[in-house]
Structure 1
Amino acid sequence: MGKVKLSNIRVYAHHGCLREEAIIGSDYRVDLEVETNLEKASQSDNLEDTVDYVHLNRIVKEEMNVRSKLLEHVAKRIMDRVFSELTTVEAMEISVSKINPPIGGDVEMVSIILQRTR
């Protein structure tokens, strides 16, 4: 087994429960890690034998462009697509963070973390 990890994917999106968040939008950070068998890829040196991180990044960016009220909802959509489109992924952890959330305090970011195993 092995892991493919994407760290600090930066996206501007319009998630949130407040009407203003839908209009103005804000900055988000997504981190994800997938577990898969990397033995074949480590020997073959062929892209088709691994989980393509370009594909993972595309899923994240496409799903982050679909508005959700909750970070949990967008994270689940990303997970659903990863497990659907990348059948060699055995487990996944994703963190979706809202940078500078509108919560009336000095908070750098709020994050949710979801984990799933196939």
Structure 2
Amino acid sequence: MLTIRLNNLRFHGHIGVYTEEKKIGQDLQLDLIIQTPINHNEIHDDLTKTLSYGDVYRQVAQIVTDSRVDLVEALAHDIIVGLRAEFSEKISQITVRIRKLNTPINGVMDNVEIEVTD
């Protein structure tokens, strides 16, 4: 088994419950942990035998850029569905963490984070 991690991907997304969040957008950070059934002994320095993290990044970037969902949980779900559709045979399990950096909460905090594993 091979684990691929993409850490602290950064995007400007237009998601949120409030109209202002969707209009102005906000900064998001994402982590992905992808478990694959790929045997590292069989890769032999051949990109076609593994999961290209460049392709994964581009797929996630497109999903986040196009998204207008209300909840970060829904965005995480869309990312999982999109990655499974594109790379189904190369993914056993996906964990998506999304951090909203500018939450409209009257309080002091660094961010709000959700984690979904499928």
- The TM-score, its normalising length taken from structure 2, stands at 0.92
Task: Tell me how far 1:105 sits from its aligned partner.
Answer: 0.9
Q: Which residue of 2 aligns with 1:2?
A: 2
1:107 to 93, 106, 109: 109
User: Does structure 2 retain, via aligned residues, the 8 Å contact 1:101–1:108?
Assistant: no
- Residue 81 of structure 2 aligns with an amino acid whose one-letter code is D
* SS in structure 2 of the partner of residue 76 of structure 1: helix
Q: Which residue of 1 aligns with 2:73?
A: 72
- 1:21-32 map, 5 Å: 21-32=21-32
- Give the ranges of 4+ consecutive aligned residues of structure 1 lying more than 4 Å apart after TM superposition: none
Structure 2 gap segments, 5+ residues each: none
Tell me the number of residue pairs that the alignment of Structure 1 and Structure 2 aligns: 114
Q: Residues of 2 paired with 1:38 and 1:63: CA distance? A: 28
Q: Residues of 2 paired with 1:79 and 1:55: CA distance? A: 14
Q: Residues of 2 paired with 1:14 and 1:100: CA distance? A: 12
Q: Which residue of 2 aligns with 1:58?
A: 58
Q: Residues of 1 paired with 2:115 and 2:59: CA distance? A: 17
Structure 1 gap segments, 5+ residues each: none
- Residue 25 of structure 1 aligns with an amino acid whose one-letter code is G
**Over aligned residues, Cα RMSD in angstroms?**
0.9
**What is the percent sequence identity of the aligned residues?**
29
- The TM-score, its normalising length taken from structure 1, stands at 0.92
Q: Residues of 2 paired with 1:90 and 1:8: CA distance? A: 21
User: Does structure 2 retain, via aligned residues, the 8 Å contact 1:2–1:38?
Assistant: yes
